[in-house]
Structure 1
Amino acid sequence: MRRAAAEPRSTAKAPAFNRYLHSPWVDSVMRTLTPDQRAAQLFMVAAYSNRKRIDEDSISTLIQRYGIGGLIFFQGGPVRQAKLLNRYQSQAKVPLLVAMDGEWGVGMRLDSMVKFPYQMSLGGETDTTLLYDMGREVAYQFKRLGMHVNFAPVVDVNNNPANPVIGFRSWGENPAAVARDGRQYMRGMQDAGVLAVAKHFPGHGDVDADSHLALPTVRVDRRRLDSLELPPFRSLVAGGLGGMMVAHLNVPALDTVPGPSTLSRPIIEGLLRQEMGFKGLIFTDAMNMKGVTSMFAPGEADVRALIAGNDILEFSKNIPLALRMVRAAVDSGRLTQQEIDVHCRRVLALKQWAGLNRYRPIKLQNLYEDLNAPHAQYLSHRLTELSITLLRNQKSLLPLQRLDTLRVATLVLGSTSPDTTDFQRAVADYAPTAHFRAAATPTLDELAQLRTALKPYNLILVSLQNLGRLPATSFGITPETNLLLRELVNQRQTLVLSVFGSAYAVAKVRDLDRAAAVVLAYQESPNAQNLAAQAIFGGIGASGRLPVTVSDRYPRGFGLRTASGFRLRYANPEDVGMDPRLEARVDSLVGRALAAQAFPGGQVLIARRGTVVLRKSYGNQTYAGFESGEREARSGKSKEKDAPRSPLLTSPSVPRPVKNDDLYDLASMTKLMAATPALLKLQGQGKFSPDSAMGNYFGFLRGTNKADLKMRDVLAHQARLKAWIPFWQELRKKNGELRRRYFRADSSARFPLPVAAGLWARKDLPARIYKEIGESPLNDKPGYVYSDLSFILYPELVKARTGQTFDSYLQQQVYRPLGATTLGFRPTNRFPRKRIVPTEVDSAFRRQLLHGTVHDEGAALLGGLSGHAGLFGDANDVAKLAQTYAWGGRYGGQQLFDKTIMDEWTRCQFCPDNRRALAFDRPAANPTVNSAKSASQRSYGHTGFTGTYFWVEPEKDLVVILLTNRVHPTRRNNKLGDLSVRSSLLQLAIEAAR
């Protein structure tokens, strides 16, 4: 074999483990090992934690009988692997060196693990410090699992789109960028104590065959190798790279004798050791791959690999045979014992650097939690966010504007699962959406049905999913996919296309330039799907750049930018400078409340700077077996034949867990989520003023003691209005039964108002209630008294000023522009009952479990439509309106409320005697009543009787929301307040905001 002309010797930095080459521990171990055992230290065999006991026992035999030096783990689970590795290490005379292919972290091989993005996803990013952080976090995962070597990073320059094996595993097509990114990842791992192994030397990026299946040939000259393939390897070697993996490649420019580079002494000893000056460990690629076994049988291939200069042989097919043939090669003079000893000493030095001279078993306690720590989740999410690449954005369509003008549908191509995808669920977080799906190869009939079904929608968000990675399959882009996309474009519908696959797949979409916008997300992880939706709606800004050339129009480095902060963003506490332990602390707080039965379940949402950092549901919708409340409700049934009675809804046999999109009865939060935004809009339109009098807005109050009450006093709860009036009590008989004069079991023109399931009220009850409010006396003394009464009347004010009903006005002016799908009254008209969380077992009035009808009795008599109670919604939609308040009335590119008016409404009106703003609550003298001990005097929010809460803290730019049904099964449960759950939640958020 002939070595190419060498360049001057490199001054490469020696890896850190080299200082142990002649340490006392290495010397002592060398003395204890026989020549055969020293050779066995050079072999790493494959191990799995998802196989049968017989497979596990076969590894034990290799460890105990032959003394192999290491393991490389493949598929399985983290806890299973840790237990298995503890067993294996206990059987080893010399502790085992343990490796894994963790190119995007341990999650590449093990289930239930956080996964970092593919290298190509990250190749277009500019914040390479995060790649260093990723390396450190991956190293932490390895060390926590008792592993010491990561066969990463891939530093092959993928300049060939037809490459069947590297592709998405490469940082990209530019050698300098690949070197930069690979070096950062390497440094992060090695600084944290895990050996990085660059691969696949001398460069696997420009081949058209897979070395797992055949021996690829690199058909380029030495000059091209020096300018494109080799620079990343040189850069990492110069930076102190600890390990190098040699690929099975035929490289005529480096060795004139045909054969795999793994067995080439000119390439390994000549180029890598002498010319490049590499002083670390050299690993073969897997010795069971066709790239080597197609030319040499097991055993002979292993001997040739050692002769070539490799230190460790990975995945040898037959260890007993290989060791016998190595011994024979030494005996015959093909190998020397000195060469074996040099390799063995390097392996032992690495083991000492990795801490194996002080081996300790893996601790199993909290293993899963440690491996999926908040910082790892933050890094994975943040790296994915920065990778999202916008390739097309006609007329600045993204981020989407004016949701109230859009009829949105999602279409997933490549999925036949009946479940919605992560992308579809993320879209639904922003806007009302209809979901559709189709296989990658739909029939003509299915295509026609889809075209028809999608016609009513003016915006279609198409996601290409379940795409392939191989160029031979056009990366999963089928002719049927292209046909359907063309048909949709021809229907003149606006298409936004999201590609969850290889960057090269983009070039296979035939009518790409007829889509209004194109988002490239590179892979189909939950993070990628979620963040693509966020980019479309403006939760995040698109900032990614192509790491490879897709076409002439989309070269490497291309990527359009959009602004962030348009709508809510969904990320992690670390993204906005919050303590990553926030979730654990909230879990603890809510866990204690659940254990004390303060409420059966709930939703928590915490946002900072417009970024939702915690959105989580806890517990169940109801308690199991609350029949005692039902029996109490049954205990006063009327004996009258025609008395109106509503059915008693029974508890499900198994309580339903709370989900993020379940709806809660917001109770008095209705005042801030319905009445207040209506009044803010009216004031902005010049149709309302807090400095006017009540009589100017309510004709039926003229001539009463309320006509001259100033609205500013009314909204600040100091106008002497009564706190509330029990309207329903006078509608009962002495025995507690409801009077048929006012109620019926079925609806009709005379009884159209839904009060509860199977219970309808007379249509003139609202007028009766308004009259009673007008006739009610005022409080004797002036001062702050919280009152429902004026808020009951605001729907009439809205109708009088706009000609629209209260609910339709709110939908048109507030909820639809926000994309607040769930906010609204009478939820059973819009949502299945299973999504609506029950409240109380009402034993006094409606005598049933209240499920889908408002808890407040007064609002129920109004048919569930009032300004003081009756609104339902989930925490996510509450957050949209609360964030609009925090952003000075702006959201989604629209100024929904005038900022000056917002500022006026949220400031204290009559301090210090009255803490209230206009409608909004503010911190009480005892802050644990409604806010928190650290809440500022600029903060504001509101509570709800059913156990609901939202609070805005401008000083920390926080929005905190808690939705519960603490009144289930009875309102007599005051543990939510006794335990100060709401104020404690706000306090945790404030303390976490560093």
Structure 2
Amino acid sequence: MSSKYLLSIFILFISLETLGQAGKTFMEPTDSQQIWVDSVFRKLTRKEKIAQLFFLRAHTDKGKAYEDAVAAIIKKNKVGGLVFFQGGPGRQAALTNSYQKLSEVPLLIAMDAEWGLGMRLDSTISYPYQMTLGAIRDTNLVYEMGKKIAGDFKRIGMHINFAPVVDVNNNPNNPVINYRSFGDNKLNVASKASAYMRGLQDAGILVSIKHFPGHGDTNVDSHNDLPVLTFSKERLDSLELYPFKELIRKGASGVMVAHMNIPALDTTRNLPSTLSRPIVTGLLKEQLGFKGLVFSDAMEMKGVVKYFPDGEADVRAIIAGNDVIELSENAPRSIKLVRRAIRQKRIPMDQIDESVKKILAAKYWAGLNTPQNINIVNVYEDLNGGDAHSLNQRLSDAAVTVLKSDSLLKQFSASRKTAIISLGVTEVSQFQKEMQKRFSNSTNFILSKIASAADIKNVSNNLRTYDQIVVAIHDYRKRPQSSLDYNDELKSFISHLAGLNTVTCLFANPYVIRGLPGVEKSKSLLVNYQNSEEMQLAAAKVLSNQMQASGRLPVTINAVFKTGDGIQFFPVPTSVSGQVE
């Protein structure tokens, strides 16, 4: 038998084994995985082993000097991976090829892309926020989204998505999680997060569920300061930790640890959970039995460096048991500090070795045991083609939630004289454009978030002659918070409009309803969670009786509207003329 034939058989064996990784994690090692891990591990020096624990920040929107600086660190320090942020997909694919060629051990490439590549990259698709997904009843749609995002990741050479968020957002004033959470019901959060995670992992992308042990009930953003959780162990175990335990049980490949001070779990003053050995090793690894990769949250955040500056945070994160140090303020400095900590017996080398072997096992699972070269032709077309837009619309359609409905919504007719008012905008909204396609006898009105009393009065006077009124409340902010930034006059006008023959459609964070007293008086109230074009089309389809609404509220807003609320609204069949049959 020829050597060429034997080589072909070996390559086929490896390929079949790689295909068989779907549904498995790297924590379930194969013989070939172990052989590759051991062969790479044996060649690493002590410094190179330490460097495998560090993942650098990377961009394609900061110019060549920045890109060259990252390249120099990769080449000199031989770090383990990169975390890409803003830029473009084609540029990132090309730059990833360049960076991989510089690295003797292939790099794991990660991104914080909770709602897909569009969270970071231009010319790519943004899927719904997790709170929007929390309203969807069909978890299969969320699984499909996970698989599609995984395909996008692989297309541009990435291996890890720092998602899903499994925090239970039971604090409406949470400044950092909020709409990034699936909601305030731990069962719903675990169910939706599990579907998203399975979609990613089944399609060959590693995850990092976050932010352990639960960042949902904080009122401090750990990017800016250190939050303190004052809850008991019993409360944390029964609520915050529940989704983590469920996803770990289902094979989560990674967990990200948050920067929070939690006295019930570690009484050390001002110590972030990321740097706590009782939390990272004692709770996560030993008590919960997690065997995958433990990622620190970004180590440049004020929540961790405020009390542990100048690289000490990175050293303590490793002592605590983190396997990957994400976004160190200065990776070369910290690598030196970790080497010193090993010499000083603060960190056992066996612990470093264990983390390195896990990282290498993850690299094998991601396919990095064979050379990868990303095809940089037609990147935009590949990421924006196929059924991506269709899936995005199906997700949005499934999220529309009717919180209140009386006969008005069922009697809504395209033939009646209709006023369509978009608030918080400076030009005709996508919702108005979609509605005008369906309601020919309609007129558009717009008011900006700083509309004057005269502007509001003018619109109000015009409404007297209309049979039905649709009010759309828009929030165009990049990060939709729990309260609108409208002026007081416009908020009062919303209350006034609700008392008329009005259907109100909210294209904003659902928590904003708390700051709009009187909006519950609307004849019908549709919650659409965000201001995307897909959600605006979905609402128009419901109002024109083209589609049923089946969403359920994923959070409690006030005493009137609570988690799980939502009316199963079915369209009334209409004739070609638009009349009810």
- Within the candidate set 535, 546, 555, 1:548 is matched to 555
Q: Aligned partners of 1:566 and 1:399: how far apart in 2?
A: 10
Q: Is the aligned partner of 1:248 residue 2:259?
A: yes
Deviations 1:793-826 (A, max 9, x none): xxxxxxxxxxxxxxxxxxxxxxxxxxxxxxxxxx
Q: Aligned partners of 2:110 and 2:90: how far apart in 1?
A: 16
- Within the candidate set 117, 122, 135, 2:133 is matched to 122
Match of 2:419 in 1: 409
Q: Aligned partners of 1:480 and 1:467: how far apart in 2?
A: 19
- Within the candidate set 268, 280, 299, 1:268 is matched to 280
Match of 1:154 in 2: 165
Cα deviation for residue 17 of structure 1 reads 4.3
Q: How many residues align?
A: 556
**Any conservation in 2 of the 1:20–1:353 contact (CA below 8 Å)?**
no
Q: Is the aligned partner of 1:171 residue 2:182?
A: yes
Match of 2:580 in 1: 894
Match of 2:238 in 1: 227
Match of 1:738 in 2: none
Q: For the structure 1 residues 445 and 270, does the alpha-carbon distance in structure 2 shift closer, same or farther, using more than 3 Å as the test?
A: same
- Within the candidate set 142, 158, 166, 2:153 is matched to 142
Which structure has the greater CA radius of gyration? 1
Write the letter of the residue equivalent to 1:42: L
Q: Aligned partners of 2:232 and 2:210: how far apart in 1?
A: 20
Match of 1:481 in 2: 490
Write the letter of the residue equivalent to 2:512: A
Match of 2:9 in 1: none
Q: Aligned partners of 1:402 and 1:292: how far apart in 2?
A: 57
Deviates more, 1:358-367 or 1:451-460: 451-460
Give me the TM-score of the superposition, normalised by structure 1: 0.54
Cα deviation for residue 305 of structure 1 reads 0.4
SS of 2:558's equivalent? coil
Cα deviation for residue 475 of structure 1 reads 3.9
- Within the candidate set 369, 386, 408, 2:398 is matched to 386
Q: For the structure 1 residues 337 and 425, does the alpha-carbon distance in structure 2 shift closer, same or farther, using more than 3 Å as the test?
A: same
Q: For the structure 1 residues 425 and 547, does the alpha-carbon distance in structure 2 shift closer, same or farther, using more than 3 Å as the test?
A: same
Cα deviation for residue 411 of structure 1 reads 1.6
Match of 1:735 in 2: none
Q: Which has the higher helix share?
A: 2
Give me the TM-score of the superposition, normalised by structure 2: 0.92
Q: Is the aligned partner of 1:334 residue 2:20?
A: no
Q: Aligned partners of 2:321 and 2:85: how far apart in 1?
A: 26
**Any conservation in 1 of the 2:258–2:297 contact (CA below 8 Å)?**
yes
Q: For the structure 1 residues 467 and 476, does the alpha-carbon distance in structure 2 shift closer, same or farther, using more than 3 Å as the test?
A: farther
Match of 2:543 in 1: 536
Match of 2:565 in 1: 558
**Any conservation in 2 of the 1:468–1:475 contact (CA below 8 Å)?**
no
Match of 2:68 in 1: 57
Q: Is the aligned partner of 1:15 residue 2:15?
A: no
Q: For the structure 1 residues 32 and 16, does the alpha-carbon distance in structure 2 shift closer, same or farther, using more than 3 Å as the test?
A: closer
Match of 1:30 in 2: 41
**Any conservation in 2 of the 1:20–1:26 contact (CA below 8 Å)?**
no
Write the letter of the residue equivalent to 1:894: V
Q: Is the aligned partner of 1:101 residue 2:112?
A: yes
Q: Aligned partners of 1:891 and 1:47: how far apart in 2?
A: 57
Cα deviation for residue 488 of structure 1 reads 3.5
Q: For the structure 1 residues 186 and 470, does the alpha-carbon distance in structure 2 shift closer, same or farther, using more than 3 Å as the test?
A: closer
Write the letter of the residue equivalent to 1:50: D
Match of 2:409 in 1: 398
Match of 1:713 in 2: none
Cα deviation for residue 891 of structure 1 reads 5.9
Write the letter of the residue equivalent to 2:155: R
**Any conservation in 2 of the 1:157–1:203 contact (CA below 8 Å)?**
yes
Q: For the structure 1 residues 398 and 359, does the alpha-carbon distance in structure 2 shift closer, same or farther, using more than 3 Å as the test?
A: farther
Write the letter of the residue equivalent to 2:230: R
Q: Aligned partners of 2:94 and 2:515: how far apart in 1?
A: 46
Match of 2:433 in 1: 425
SS of 1:518's equivalent? strand
**Any conservation in 2 of the 1:398–1:537 contact (CA below 8 Å)?**
no
SS of 1:474's equivalent? coil
Write the letter of the residue equivalent to 2:423: L
Cα deviation for residue 480 of structure 1 reads 2.3
Q: For the structure 1 residues 559 and 36, does the alpha-carbon distance in structure 2 shift closer, same or farther, using more than 3 Å as the test?
A: same
Q: Is the aligned partner of 1:299 residue 2:311?
A: yes
After the TM superposition, which segments of 4 or more aligned residues of structure 1 sit over 6 Å from their partners? Answer: 469-473
Match of 1:201 in 2: 212
Deviations 1:332-362 (A, max 9, x none): 1111222211111111110011001112211
Q: For the structure 1 residues 488 and 536, does the alpha-carbon distance in structure 2 shift closer, same or farther, using more than 3 Å as the test?
A: same
Cα deviation for residue 561 of structure 1 reads 1.9
Q: For the structure 1 residues 293 and 487, does the alpha-carbon distance in structure 2 shift closer, same or farther, using more than 3 Å as the test?
A: same
SS of 1:403's equivalent? coil
Cα deviation for residue 18 of structure 1 reads 4.4
Q: Is the aligned partner of 1:527 residue 2:527?
A: no
Match of 2:445 in 1: 436
**Any conservation in 2 of the 1:15–1:279 contact (CA below 8 Å)?**
no
SS of 1:126's equivalent? coil
Q: Which one has more relative contact order, counting CA pairs under 8 Å at least 6 apart?
A: 2
Q: Is the aligned partner of 1:357 residue 2:369?
A: yes
Q: Aligned partners of 1:891 and 1:357: how far apart in 2?
A: 63
**Any conservation in 2 of the 1:18–1:350 contact (CA below 8 Å)?**
no
Deviates more, 1:65-74 or 1:376-385: 376-385
Write the letter of the residue equivalent to 1:343: S
Match of 2:200 in 1: 189
**Any conservation in 2 of the 1:401–1:892 contact (CA below 8 Å)?**
no
Q: Aligned partners of 1:470 and 1:88: how far apart in 2?
A: 32
Q: Aligned partners of 2:104 and 2:466: how far apart in 1?
A: 68
Match of 2:467 in 1: 458
SS of 1:125's equivalent? coil
Work out the percentage of aligned pairs sharing the same amino acid: 43
Match of 1:874 in 2: none
Q: Aligned partners of 2:370 and 2:449: how far apart in 1?
A: 54
Deviations 1:612-665 (A, max 9, x none): xxxxxxxxxxxxxxxxxxxxxxxxxxxxxxxxxxxxxxxxxxxxxxxxxxxxxx
**Any conservation in 1 of the 2:26–2:361 contact (CA below 8 Å)?**
no
SS of 1:98's equivalent? strand
**Any conservation in 1 of the 2:482–2:510 contact (CA below 8 Å)?**
no
Cα deviation for residue 450 of structure 1 reads 2.2
Cα deviation for residue 16 of structure 1 reads 3.1
Match of 1:680 in 2: none
Gaps of 5+ in 2: 1-22
Q: Aligned partners of 1:565 and 1:31: how far apart in 2?
A: 69
SS of 1:330's equivalent? helix
SS of 1:208's equivalent? coil
SS of 2:115's equivalent? coil
Q: For the structure 1 residues 389 and 477, does the alpha-carbon distance in structure 2 shift closer, same or farther, using more than 3 Å as the test?
A: farther
Q: Aligned partners of 2:107 and 2:580: how far apart in 1?
A: 62
- Within the candidate set 64, 74, 78, 1:67 is matched to 78
Cα deviation for residue 454 of structure 1 reads 3.4
RMSD: 1.9
Cα deviation for residue 507 of structure 1 reads 2.1
Match of 2:16 in 1: none
Q: Aligned partners of 1:449 and 1:473: how far apart in 2?
A: 29
Deviations 1:352-403 (A, max 9, x none): 11001112211122222221233222221111111000111222x2245333
SS of 2:208's equivalent? strand
Q: For the structure 1 residues 489 and 265, does the alpha-carbon distance in structure 2 shift closer, same or farther, using more than 3 Å as the test?
A: closer
Gaps of 5+ in 1: 1-12, 568-888, 896-994
Cα deviation for residue 469 of structure 1 reads 8.2
Cα deviation for residue 14 of structure 1 reads 8.6
Cα deviation for residue 64 of structure 1 reads 0.7
Cα deviation for residue 310 of structure 1 reads 0.2
Write the letter of the residue equivalent to 1:264: S
SS of 1:455's equivalent? helix
SS of 1:311's equivalent? coil
Q: Aligned partners of 1:565 and 1:373: how far apart in 2?
A: 34
SS of 1:23's equivalent? helix
Q: Aligned partners of 1:473 and 1:199: how far apart in 2?
A: 21
Cα deviation for residue 311 of structure 1 reads 0.3
Q: Aligned partners of 2:480 and 2:233: how far apart in 1?
A: 27
**Any conservation in 1 of the 2:172–2:482 contact (CA below 8 Å)?**
no
Q: Aligned partners of 2:112 and 2:417: how far apart in 1?
A: 45
